[in-house]
Structure 1
Amino acid sequence: MKDFWENVSRYPRYFITFTLGIFFSIFGWLKPLLKNPVSAIALLGIVLGGGVFVLLTLRGMLGLGGV
């Protein structure tokens, strides 16, 4: 039974490592775009627009308020 819990305890560490690896690779890919002010503003607009899109979609799907 000890081996079972030891194995289960590895999954959160794997998930955190996997998620951080994805974020670091995406940030490394987008880092050159942040050097140019025009592309940095465009990137910020895309990120904010995507966040608002997800927020409004979830509110509409869950019926949390008028859209």
Structure 2
Amino acid sequence: MQDLWNTVSKYPRLVAGLMVGVILFALAPLAPLLKNPVTAVAVIGFFVAGFAFFTFTLRAMLGI
């Protein structure tokens, strides 16, 4: 029974590592764009606008 809980306790670390790896893999192609100031502003603006859109949409859907 101890082996079971030892194995189960490793899953959160596995999931966290998997999520970090996927995020790093997804953002790696954007790294060269951040070297040019014009494209860096555009990329950062895109992320800010996307986050704002996502936030406002959720607030409207949930009635917050």
Q: TM-score, normalised by structure 2?
A: 0.88
Structure 2: distance between partners of 1:29 and 1:6: 37
Structure 2: distance between partners of 1:37 and 1:2: 54
- Unaligned ranges ≥5, structure 1: none
Alignment partner, residue 59 of structure 1: 59
Give the C-alpha shift of residue 51 in structure 1. 0.3
Alignment partner, residue 8 of structure 1: 8
Give the paired residue count: 64
AA partner of residue 33 (structure 1): L
Structure 1: distance between partners of 2:32 and 2:2: 47
Alignment partner, residue 32 of structure 1: 32
- Unaligned ranges ≥5, structure 2: none
CA RMSD of aligned residues (A): 1.1
Structure 2: distance between partners of 1:48 and 1:14: 29
Give the C-alpha shift of residue 16 in structure 1. 1.1
Q: TM-score, normalised by structure 1?
A: 0.84
Give the SS at the match of 2:32. Answer: helix
Give the C-alpha shift of residue 46 in structure 1. 0.7
